[in-house]
Amino acid sequence: MDKKIDNYTKYQSDVIVDLLHHYDFPYIAMNPGASFRGLHDSIVNYGGNQPELLVCQHEEIAVQIAHGYARATGKPMGVILHNLVGMLHAQMAVYYAYIDRAPIFIMGATGPMHEGKRRPHIDWSHSALVQGESMRNYTKWDYQPTAIEGVPESFMRAYSTMVTEPAGPIYMCYDAWLQEAPLEIEPEMPPKNMQIAPSPAAADPATLEKIVDRLLTAENPLILTDYIGRNEGNFEKLVTLAETLGVAVWDVNNALCFPNRHPLNLSMDKDFLTNVDAILGLDVRDWEKPTAKLQSTTREVTQVVPETCDWMEVGFAEIGMSSWAFDYGRYRPKVHIALGDPRLAMPQMTEIAAARLAADPALAEKVEARKKRFGERHAKNFAKYAEDAKKDRDTSPLQLGRLAEEVWDVIKDEDWVCSTGTLRNWARKLWDFDKPYRHGGESLGTSTQIGMSLGVALAYKNTDKVVVALQPDGDLMFDAGALWTAAKHRIPLLIVMFNNRAYFNDWEHQIRMARLRGTDESLAYLGMDIFDPEPDFATIAKGMGVWAEGPIEKPEEVGPALRRALAEVKAGRPALVDVITQHR
């Protein structure tokens, strides 16, 4: 749409739209609200509905769609939250985006701060001083410009801050009257030749050399990797680095960093960790969960890795650490730490290692033998996974391994993407995650997955990729309205219900408590079950305009239903298949 409208008086909210166009935002997810009516009108009429507005039934869904989109693309999209109340609705989703390092450009609204322009009651009770303070503990930056001159400058700073690693959400709060006032002066806008964010930070070369030398001489070295899969090219860089060093890789699964079927992938093999003598963490935040065993009932944590192991790190260490949330985990002392972006460090370490190996044939021979040994262990692991999946495979309701097999059989010849959850790792054990975009990262807490899955599917809309959501029932019960957003905006997503009719994670905790205390274990389901009555997710989905089948309990009926659903998704529409599964 041509923004030069005849006899048009430009408004201050139009400047925000100019900035959104300058930074090429594709979408804005939102739930309607009067506090941003000025910006809303500017987007629709002045901006020609660019970025495209996505109507969501809850602010959490709006943020989660942007979260999933960022995971899939590495790029931000916009979210608008209605003044104080919409912001409060969204906070849990914003917190998860923050700890998951997802760049999201969140725009809010308040006031008017000009008391003379406030409507009685509503503009008073829905505004706060200062509104951004409510989310300050889990956003990278927030700002509330008081004049139009401050809008472009703060927008530039917010965008740069948001995408600089470690990335995360920002919150820009626009005064309602600032939006609605006519534009009297043209503020200085970003120059076309500006660099929108800093280049990646390089690590200390001397420390990288020490790290490489220790990995080359170790007997059982391991690379522990977490978020690096979010940056384009890192998947391939890690493959090259691991193959050059002859080092095993453990992918934490907050992003897909390494192919699961690669011979050096020993993820999920905790027995291997008992003999590891050197670990390099690449952009790892929580070191403890993958390297320790938890006795959940007593909260006893036992380190699996030997005390003599040398721990090392390349990444962002203490940068961006929250002083509010404990998402950083327990501190792990290291012998070498290089502060810097792994996307630069990995090729440097590969060059260092190649030079060392070329100069020392005996060392090169050791590395090749080590690679062979790790590859044999990898092959045994995956053979066992395949064997385990056959156990009780014909039971009804479905065993999770059988469901993972059925989905894989339907999508394996497609260019597929797994949006969030992995059926308690069964997909990681049975599927072939061979390309960096196959998985944006593991699911987070309850009431996150359906929104994030929609964001991943939105990222691949109008492509040949088939996005699959392995969707828990408890999660969808929080946000069933998200299905309407999928239908409304024609977001093609294959939703396969992992429906055990319970909040079973908490059910397991109650079983543990009952066993510890000697109380009645048979009552553990109380307050946890999702039955009597059982939600009919296929009917719910149909009521929202989504093609659906189910509930399905017989294993032989799953594959045909999935193929019918796949046809809908390939035609550009969302589809849901409700499959009843075992609890575990």
pLDDT tens track, the chain, 584 positions = 344 566 788 999 999 999 999 999 999 999 999 999 999 999 999 999 999 999 999 999 999 999 999 999 999 999 999 999 999 999 999 999 999 999 999 999 998 888 888 889 888 888 888 888 999 999 999 999 999 999 999 999 999 999 999 999 999 999 999 999 999 999 999 999 999 999 999 999 999 999 999 999 999 999 999 999 999 999 999 999 999 999 999 999 999 999 999 999 999 999 999 999 999 999 998 899 899 888 888 888 899 999 999 999 999 988 888 888 888 888 999 999 999 999 999 999 999 999 999 999 999 999 999 999 999 999 999 999 999 999 999 999 999 999 999 999 999 999 999 999 999 999 999 999 999 999 999 988 888 999 999 999 999 999 999 999 999 999 999 999 999 999 999 999 999 999 988 887 787 888 888 888 999 988 888 888 888 899 999 999 999 999 999 999 999 999 999 999 999 999 999 999 999 998 76
Residue 222 tokens, joined? 């391991």
How many secondary structure helices (H) and strands (E) does the chain include?
21, 18
Beta-carbon contacts of residue 143 (< 8 Å; ≥ 6 apart): 132, 154, 157, 158, 171, 172, 173
Per-residue pLDDT, 5: 64
Using DSSP's 3-state secondary structure scheme, residue 284 falls into coil
| Residue 565 · residue 573 · CB < 8 Å | no
Beta-carbon contacts of residue 500 (< 8 Å; ≥ 6 apart): 397, 472, 473, 580, 581, 582, 583
- State the DSSP string of 233-253: THHHHHHHHHHHHT-EEEE-S
| Residue 214 · residue 222 · CB < 8 Å | no
Burial class (CB in 10 A: 0-12, 13-18, 19+), 245: buried
Residue with token string 């200062």: 130
d(C-alpha 478, C-alpha 353), whole Å: 50
- State the DSSP string of 507-557: HHHHHHHHHHHT--GGGTTTTTB--SSPP-HHHHHHHTT-EEEEEE--HHH
In this structure, the number of other CB atoms found within 10 A of the CB of residue 462 comes to 9
Per-residue pLDDT, 2: 40
Q: Largest alpha-carbon pair distance within the chain?
A: 81
Beta-carbon contacts of residue 462 (< 8 Å; ≥ 6 apart): none
Give first-to-last CA distance, the chain, whole Å. 53
Q: Which residues of 486-508 are buried (b: 16+ CB within 10 A; e: fewer)?
A: bbebebbbbbbbbbbbbbbeebb
In this structure, the number of other CB atoms found within 10 A of the CB of residue 413 comes to 8
Phi-psi region of 225 (alpha: psi -120 to 50; beta: other; left: phi over 0): beta
According to DSSP, residue 327 is labeled: T
Burial class (CB in 10 A: 0-12, 13-18, 19+), 572: exposed
**Ordered structural domains, the chain, with CATH:** 12-180 (3.40.50.970), 205-387 (3.40.50.1220), 390-580 (3.40.50.970)
d(C-alpha 521, C-alpha 524), whole Å: 5
Please, which residues bridge with residue 303 across strands?
292
| Residue 493 · residue 466 · CB < 8 Å | no
According to DSSP, residue 429 is labeled: H
| Residue 431 · residue 408 · CB < 8 Å | yes
Per-residue pLDDT, 465: 98
- State the DSSP string of 121-173: THHHHT--TTGGGGGGGGSSEEE--SSTTHHHHHHHHHHHHHHSSSP--EEEE
Beta-carbon contacts of residue 67 (< 8 Å; ≥ 6 apart): 93, 96, 97, 100, 102, 104, 448, 451, 452, 455
d(C-alpha 381, C-alpha 378), whole Å: 5
Residue type, 559: G
Using DSSP's 3-state secondary structure scheme, residue 348 falls into helix
d(C-alpha 76, C-alpha 230), whole Å: 12
Q: At what angle do helices 342-359 and 234-245 cross, to 10 degrees?
A: 20
Q: How many residues does the chain have?
A: 584
